[in-house]
Amino acid sequence: MVCWAGCRGSSEVPGLNELDERGWRLYVLFAVITGCVLILVARLVYIQVIEHEHFAELAAAERWRREAVPARRGVIRDADGAPLATTVTYEGLYADAAQIEDPAATANALSPLLGKPASSLKAKLAQRQAAPVLVQSGLSATTADRIRELNLPGLYFRPERQRLHPEGNLAAQVLGVVGVDGQGLSGLEAAFDADLAGKPGWVLAERDTGGDEIALGDRQSSPPVDGADITLTLDRYIQRTVELELAAAVERHRARGATAVVLDPRTGAVLALASYPALRFDDPDLFDSSRLPLYRIPAVDDLYEPGSVFKIVTMAAALDAGVVTPETAILDTGSFPYASGVVRNSVNWPPGMITMTLGLQRSSNVAAAYAGTTLGTRRFFDYVSAFGFGRPTGVGLPGEAAGLIKRPGQPGWDDYDLAANSFGQGIAVTPLPMASAVAAVANGGTLLQPYGVAKVAGPSGRRVYHPVVVRQVVRAETAQKLTEMLVAVVEFVDGGKPRLSKVPGYRVAGKTGTAEVPTASGYDPSATIASFVGYAPADDPRFVLLVKIDEPKDSPWGETVAAPVFRAIAQQLL
């Protein structure tokens, strides 16, 4: 049969288009499946090969936990070995919130043991964060063991070390503060932080799902290296005595504050360094910014004009240079014109002839100015530098100020400054170098570097500190002459009244100081610094003591305010 247009060819198989469509669909499906397999293989290669280390670390983090093991911070001891600052280990309770399924139940179980409301504990335990949550720090071993017995999932402990002070707040500013991170922030804790801190260790151990270490699991560790112990020259008995007397004096005279320094003139060792108001370790606001001023150590940080106690330095220089003797006599009219100014006495004694000794006894500014100007500018400042003023002592405490000395040729210098400096005006020092300079007179003329640390001993070895001679400032015979003059000052009877610095049964050498407080517009006549510095026994001094009372309200005079404090302390030290 012949077919014309419009007829289908006889070779066409019925239903072929349906098979082609089905085949095409299979091809597409196969291609999709193949693509997915290739993507999955590529992803597996990426995870298993390219990012193997990263995901291995993530997996290990689920099974392993690395914890720091803090080093024991070194102990700070006084001269007799009694601990002043030590470290005690407590337990810190932490939570892995992701492992805690029922925060409320866990909080209810912990509440009676921690003494905290369950609601506040629940709020901590319900936090969803990657970092561990600190539940409670400072737990005793007994409390920690009772919590362990509960076997609560998601809780674990870390050892914590806290700084304790067996002698309470004694020498708090000298010892200094340790921050919550274990780093020294002030005082010796900061100055010797590298020695005290040690080196932390670590523990890497397998953990179960609750975060506790698996008893028979793998474990790696590196032990901590404990910090070094430090032994001071500080005597806790002397320190406490000084602190108590300073606090009483500030309250009695309604003063702004007070500072005292006690040195051993034979070695330069610091026996006590105190101030009031003082830092308190038991202050709940210890780390508040308002307490930062108390972190300072006024004995090395607070500059002040020393006033008449500086006449000791002037007289030592003039005697040593041979320009005066104790018996050198001058006419004291109460005033001494020099260069552009006039030196005036603070007390109106009747005009008359006085010796250099009587000048010290009366605290005559005229006598001191005469000695200083007769010595001359160059020699005066040579001796001032030789006594250590104008530079830090190197005692090793943070924040030590160098002092301020205006020299010829410097901006603002006036020739009158020589006369003013001679009686302690226009020159700024801190209490420690002032006491150190007087110690040089007490020991026969040798300036010794003050030091407060006697020994540092730890795993890496030990360092022992010995007295350091800076220089011979004046000859021994000069020091002896000046000592006798200073004994005469203390023995001086003024109008039938003995000096308030006199200690019955002992020869004491010393000098008062009353200095006005400088301001931006001049000296404030209503504010003074009352001070006394002396040593005893004068023939074989065991201590040099400087007492400085800032801005007493009832009396401005060093004799009235500071000298009795010196006597009260000296009586307990002799």
Matching residue, tokens 């949550």: 133
Residue 8 pLDDT class (50, 70, 90 cuts): very low
pLDDT per residue as tens digits for the range 323-352: 999 999 999 999 999 999 999 999 999 999
Torsional class of 199: left (φ above 0), alpha (ψ -120 to 50), beta (otherwise): beta
Reply yes or no: is the peptide bond before residue 277 cis, omega within 30 of 0. Answer: yes
Secondary structure (3-state) at 410: coil
Give residue-wise pLDDT tens across range 426-470: 999 999 999 999 999 999 999 999 999 999 999 989 999 999 999
Report yes or no: 351 and 364 within 8 Å, Cβ to Cβ.
no
pLDDT band at 212 (very low <50, low <70, confident <90, very high): low
Who has greater pLDDT, 549 or 70? 549
Tell me which residue has tokens 């629940």.
122
Q: What φ, ψ does residue 227 adopt, rounded to 5°?
A: -75, 165
Predicted confidence band of residue 312 (pLDDT cuts 50, 70, 90): very high
The reported pLDDT for the residue numbered 64 is: 65
DSSP H or E stretch at residue 91: strand 83-95
With a pLDDT cut of 90, the percent of the chain lying above it is 63
Q: The tokens of 389 are what? A: 């003023």
pLDDT of residue 60: 58
Cis peptide, bond prior to residue 518, ω within 30 of zero: no
Which uninterrupted H or E stretch holds 60? helix 52-63
- Burial class from Cβ neighbours inside 10 Å (0-12, 13-18, 19+) for residue 334 reads middle
Q: Rounded CA gap, 232 and 554, in Å?
A: 37
- Give the pair of three-digit tokens for residue 216: 């028979």
Is the pLDDT at 100 greater than 90, yes or no?
no
Residue 92 in this model has a pLDDT that exceeds 70: yes
In whole angstroms, how far apart are CA 430 and each of 85, 155, 341, 391, 435?
26, 53, 26, 10, 9
Give the whole-angstrom CA distance, residue 151 versus residue 164.
31
Question: Taking the C-alpha atoms of 136, 138, 141 and 143 in order, what is their torsion angle to the nearest 10 degrees?
Answer: -40
Cα separation, 500 vs 568, in Å, equals 10
Please give the pLDDT value at position 280. Answer: 95
Range in 90-99, 362-371, 384-393, 524-533 the model is least confident about: 90-99
Q: Whole-angstrom Cα distance, residue 388 to residue 193?
A: 28
Taking a C-beta distance cutoff of 8 angstroms, is the pair 439, 265 a contact?
Answer: yes
| Beta carbons of 354 and 345 less than 8 angstroms apart | no
Return the higher-pLDDT residue of 318 and 223. 318
Dist CA 377 CA 408 (whole Å): 8
As given in the structure block, the two tokens for residue 294 are: 């108390």
Place of tokens 């400085």: 548
**101 pLDDT exceeds 80?**
yes
Nearest to 258 by CA among 175, 201, 195, 173: 173
- Mean of the pLDDT values across residues 244-262? 97
- The pLDDT value recorded for residue 218 is 63
pLDDT mean over 236-247: 98
Q: Label residue 70 by pLDDT band (50, 70, 90).
A: confident
CATH numbers and ranges of domains, the chain: 71-96+132-232 (3.90.1310.10), 236-573 (3.40.710.10)
What pLDDT score was predicted for residue 242? 98
Indicate the DSSP class of residue 408: T
pLDDT digits (tens, 9 = 90+) for 20-64: 666 777 777 777 788 787 787 777 776 667 766 766 665 555 566
What is the average pLDDT score of the chain? Answer: 89
Four-CA torsion 246, 437, 524, 297, nearest 10 degrees: -50
- 496-533 pLDDT, tens digit per residue, is 788 999 999 999 999 999 999 988 888 888 899 999 99
**CB-CB contact of 241 with 566 (8 Å):** no
Query: Is pLDDT at 7 greater than 50 in this prediction?
Result: no
In the three-class reduction of DSSP (H, G, I as helix; E, B as strand; rest coil), residue 140 is classed as coil
Check residue 1 and give its pLDDT: 41
What distance in Å separates the CA atoms of residue 448 and residue 435, rounded to the nearest whole number? 11
The confidence band for 186, taking pLDDT boundaries of 50, 70 and 90, is very high
512: buried, middle or exposed (CB in 10 Å: 19+, 13-18, 0-12)? buried
* SS3 category, 119: helix
In this prediction the pTM is 0.81
Q: In angstroms, rounded to a whole number, what is the distance separating the alpha carbons of residues 139 and 200?
A: 21
